[in-house]
Structure 1
Amino acid sequence: MVTARTHFRKMNGLGNDFVVLDVRETPLALSEAQTRAIADREKGVGCDQLITIERPRGDGDAYMGIRNADGSVVGACGNATRCVGRLLMDETGRKEIRLETPSGPVVCFDAGDGRITVDMGEPRLKWNEIPLSEEFADTRSIELEVGPLGNPVMHSPGVVSMGNPHAIFFVKDADAIDLARIGPMLENHPLFPERANISVAEVLAPDHIKLRVWERGAGLTLACGTGACAAAVAGVRKRLTARKVTVTLPGGDLEIEWRGADNHVYMTGPVTFEFEGDLDPRLLSGGVVA
């Protein structure tokens, strides 16, 4: 049952922003319409994703629900994971937090200087794990082109799942790509049955990638944590980068390491608290079932 008071926190990771609802004591089942209303930047609070902190379903400290601004459910969000990890560290006084997500468990660590490191787990690299609608024996480069036949603007993306599907195109100049135009088309390409996050990556040095991301269900974003992880993995697989890289996004830098020792991807970056308040009950009109 909805009450007049539904508290929220507004947070971001490098500008990738979230409305965070702690519903451990008062569970809420949010509809797509309600999520869109809250995420609306003119009439609601405004965010890329809506995040719920829920009671754990297993042995984690909490379960993190993730919904895109369009109301769709998401399996993973690296920047939001850092934000929720920071909140629970502040709450418990601990330096390590284990979160359950739709894509599986992740562990957050206090990295000092206001930064959080997240063990994002192993990348999923098989075509049916990403998933793709067609079988590809090698997902380092799949057959997909954008532009004139024989002279494509982009081609042969690497595909990776970091809990959600990513296609990464390596290009000479990331800023030269009209991602706002191309992104929606590729997000909904038939090759991606669950849609996909679309990235353009420019290798500045073996340890430095410049990245722009069209995020499925959210659009152009200032930062995408899973996108940065996926780009780092794709760069290694294409032999373009080292296993430890700085990924520069429009909102700032993330440090990504794909460790050979355990095959896990580790992401380190900052967390910013913006403000908090109570949701206008009208944003939840139509009924929320507890």
Structure 2
Amino acid sequence: MMIRFSKMQGAGNDFVVIDAIGQAIDVEQVDWRQVADRHFGVGADQVLVVQRPQDPGNDFRYRIFNADGAEVEQCGNGARCFVRFVHEQGLSAKRKIAVETLAGLIEPELLDDGMVMVNMGRPDFHTRDLGFVDWQQARARGQADIDDGIERIQLASPAPEYLPSLELDLMSMGNPHAVLFLDAPPNDDLVEHLGPFICTHPIFPKQVNVGFAYLASPNQLQLRVFERGAGETLACGTGACAAAVLALARNKAREGLQVQARGGNLWVEWAGGQSPVMMTGPAHTVFEGLIVLPTR
């Protein structure tokens, strides 16, 4: 059976987006890894699936599958593409929708200037309650501490010629992030050597998204992200939110911070405390097509 899909991108982070409301799809039986494969499938960083909400008071359910086939909790750039997709496909006439994710409810909104703003919910600094860090191992090795209310892990560097030690600030945007703040813009060697090492380090049992951040000014942050299940992507929306919030929490940045990714710019606002994180950026349809979905 042929299934319609859209290929979309937000700041270079690319997606296959599929309507599972108007098309009969057994989501649990599809081999999403093959769909995302750039040689044997359509090719994407993630596959996004639109479903009916579990709570009828919401508009949609948003399923996210990484390039390795694993389902994940959240994807910020995907959220922007999600609202544009349901609008373009006539699934909703609303410009602002309530969307269920594994991480909770988000609210993406189409703006008049063509950009998309997403209420990403509240940041969570209490990572030891979320299970994405082996705190017992970290404490036993003296690698864990809390600085200004932000939990931090220190790891020995596998490449001391690039960085002698790794001090990672931790937080969750519905998915786990470890952010390394640098004194210079991140380069290819740094990301290629340290990204996989940190992402798959045993101290992170379920792996972690790794941000390499450089604060060029209080208004501008340069960022590269090595994502679990996908590798380095041209942009990562939740990674941009995590790095921006951490910089704002330490009073190193100003509200309305521009985050520069390799694929384009995103804007992040956070008023602090229990305020939600607001992310704004582009979302575009590249092409549409048909595919026979492979099964597991």
Equivalent in the alignment of 2:204: 192
Residue correspondence of structure 1 range 135-284 to structure 2 within 5 A? 136=144, 138=146, 139-147=150-158, 152-176=163-187, 177-260=189-272, 262-279=274-291, 281=292, 283-284=293-294
List gaps (5 residues or longer) in structure 2: 137-143
2:17 to 17, 20, 34: 20
Q: Give 1:178's aligned amino acid.
A: L
Q: Give 1:79's aligned amino acid.
A: N
Equivalent in the alignment of 1:132: 133
The answer (yes or no) to whether the contact 1:20–1:52 under 8 Å persists in 2 is yes
Q: CA deviation at 1:130?
A: 6.2
The answer (yes or no) to whether the contact 1:130–1:164 under 8 Å persists in 2 is no
Q: TM-score, normalised by structure 1?
A: 0.90
Aligned CA-pair RMSD: 2.1
Distance change >3 Å, CA 142–CA 162, structure 1 → 2: same
Greater alpha carbon shift after TM alignment, 184-193 vs 174-183 = 174-183
The answer (yes or no) to whether the contact 1:140–1:234 under 8 Å persists in 2 is no
Greater alpha carbon shift after TM alignment, 74-83 vs 238-247 = 238-247
Q: Secondary structure of 1:141's partner?
A: strand
Greater alpha carbon shift after TM alignment, 171-180 vs 17-26 = 171-180
1:68 to 66, 69, 75: 66
Q: Give 2:223's aligned amino acid.
A: L
Moved >6 Å (runs of 4+): 148-151
The answer (yes or no) to whether the contact 1:232–1:243 under 8 Å persists in 2 is no
Greater alpha carbon shift after TM alignment, 6-15 vs 87-96 = 87-96
Q: Give 1:44's aligned amino acid.
A: G
Instruction: State the alpha-carbon separation in 1 of the partners of residues 254 and 29 from structure 2.
Output: 42
Distance change >3 Å, CA 151–CA 21, structure 1 → 2: closer
Q: Give 2:195's aligned amino acid.
A: G
Identity of aligned residues (%): 36
Equivalent in the alignment of 2:139: none
Q: How big is each residue's C-alpha offset from its partner over 1:104-152, in whole Å with a ceiling of 9 and x where there is no partner?
A: 0000122222111000001111122263110656234322242567994
Instruction: State the alpha-carbon separation in 2 of the partners of residues 254 and 124 from structure 1.
Output: 20
Residue correspondence of structure 1 range 8-87 to structure 2 within 5 A? 8-25=5-22, 26-31=24-29, 34-58=31-55, 59-87=57-85
The answer (yes or no) to whether the contact 1:14–1:222 under 8 Å persists in 2 is yes
Instruction: State the alpha-carbon separation in 2 of the partners of residues 60 and 179 from structure 1.
Output: 39
Distance change >3 Å, CA 181–CA 111, structure 1 → 2: same
Equivalent in the alignment of 1:105: 105
Instruction: State the alpha-carbon separation in 2 of the partners of residues 153 and 44 from structure 1.
Output: 40
Q: CA deviation at 1:284?
A: 1.2
The answer (yes or no) to whether the contact 1:11–1:83 under 8 Å persists in 2 is yes
Q: Secondary structure of 1:85's partner?
A: helix
Residue correspondence of structure 1 range 91-102 to structure 2 within 5 A? 91=90, 92-102=92-102
The answer (yes or no) to whether the contact 1:9–1:275 under 8 Å persists in 2 is yes
Distance change >3 Å, CA 133–CA 243, structure 1 → 2: farther
The answer (yes or no) to whether the contact 2:213–2:222 under 8 Å persists in 1 is yes
The answer (yes or no) to whether the contact 1:19–1:45 under 8 Å persists in 2 is yes
The answer (yes or no) to whether the contact 1:18–1:80 under 8 Å persists in 2 is yes
Q: How big is each residue's C-alpha offset from its partner over 1:191-243, in whole Å with a ceiling of 9 and x where there is no partner?
A: 21221001110101011100000010000100000000000111123332123
Q: Give 1:223's aligned amino acid.
A: A
Number of equivalences? 280
Q: Give 2:59's aligned amino acid.
A: D
The answer (yes or no) to whether the contact 2:154–2:165 under 8 Å persists in 1 is no
Q: TM-score, normalised by structure 2?
A: 0.88
Greater alpha carbon shift after TM alignment, 184-193 vs 208-217 = 184-193
Q: How big is each residue's C-alpha offset from its partner over 1:4-34, in whole Å with a ceiling of 9 and x where there is no partner?
A: 21111100101100001100132322447x1
Q: CA deviation at 1:153?
A: 4.1
Q: Give 2:257's aligned amino acid.
A: V
